[in-house]
Amino acid sequence: MNAQVLERLAADKLTENWLAQYERPRRERYLRNLSRFGEWLGKEPKILLLDARRRGPEKANRALTDYYNYLVEDEGKAPTSANQYITRLRGYFTANGVYLGRFHPKTDVQATYERPKASSLSRQDVSNMVKSRKKTRDKFVIAFLAQTGQRIGILTAIKRKMMTEKVIRGHGIVTVPSNLPNHRGENVNTSGREYTFVIGRDTMKLVRQLDKLPGSWDSEGRLKLSPRQMARIVDKSAEAIGIQDRQQTKIGESWSDVHPSTLRKYWKKCMVDAKADTGAVSHMMGSNLPSILRARKFTGEELLEGYEKAESRLNVL
């Protein structure tokens, strides 16, 4: 973690107000938590705080919701552990005069941060989400998540060359190593084992379109987007076609039903409805497999055969 960033955060008056209530051993750990949140957010947390002072806590609440989902879905944190992170960050806002709404850490562990799951997305919903975006990059993010069933963390770490190292009948066959580091050097493969997944034809077309646009990939071949930016692309596309739930709830505010893991669940439903092998589906998702399936091996051709059963349901272009 960048020492200069920590020093700058520690010297900020807003951070001082927050950390003053804790004993010294906790301050350094909480400061690192705030720094990581800022890195994920793509801007300094004080910008979010100052905006909440002027316009209300909606954006701050939404950012914390997305961060909670990121910690659970992509970093593999337990819900109780993720809530501890979020509770500390809420304290940053409270210490500086911004009230974010009620929170019940013991009885409603996830209620404040994770809305009830959206009803299953239809193929038309996903197709409309893609069509609603003007940028090829944004279309690619939605298509990739919907056609691969991958966590958003994988998309932040996967390199361009991995997508076309092995192509069969227009599909990319990608092998994810047990250790797949993102730009911060953190392993995003939460299963801790090697697995393989399939990229659909529509997504492969968008990959080639991205190649024609300068600046799409960074120097190491990764997409130039943070997890937060990718989550916002999904949110904005769902909002644009009117499938977000914006009604208030009894606890705190309400946020969108559709987020990156909703597309992951859409992919799984399509595969299950097509009667694809359940073992192959779990393998391609990079899920933690039950002991009876851990020793089972799948070839790229076997996985593609199962994938093609569901492809008519997964087409988005």
Query: pLDDT per residue over 280-292, tens digit each?
Result: 888 898 876 555 4
- What total number of domains does the chain contain? 2
Q: How far apart are the first and last CA of the chain?
A: 40
Q: What letter does residue 263 receive in the DSSP assignment? A: H
Q: Which residues contact 264 (CB under 8 A, 6 or more apart)?
A: 73, 145, 149, 150, 151, 285
Q: Are residues 169 and 262 in the same domain?
A: yes
Q: Dump pLDDT digits (tens) for 65-82.
A: 888 888 887 777 888 888
Encoded tokens for 63:
């950012």
Residue listed under structure tokens 């966590």: 151
Question: Which residue from 79, 46, 75 is spatially nearest to 227, judged by alpha carbons?
Answer: 75
Angle CA(284)–CA(288)–CA(293) in degrees, nearest 5? 75
Residue-number span of the structural domain to which 309 is assigned: 123-314
Same domain, 206 and 273: yes
* 255 against 70, higher pLDDT: 70
Predicted pLDDT at 289 = 57
Residue at which a domain ends, from 57, 75, 94: 94
Identify each DSSP E strand in the chain by its residue range.
167-168, 171-176, 195-199
Residues 82 and 212 in one domain: no
* DSSP letter (8 states) at residue 235: H
Q: State the pLDDT confidence band at 126, using cuts at 50, 70 and 90.
A: very high
Residues 66 and 164 in one domain: no
In this structure, what CATH number is given to the domain that contains residue 175?
A: 1.10.443.10
156 and 30 together in one domain = no
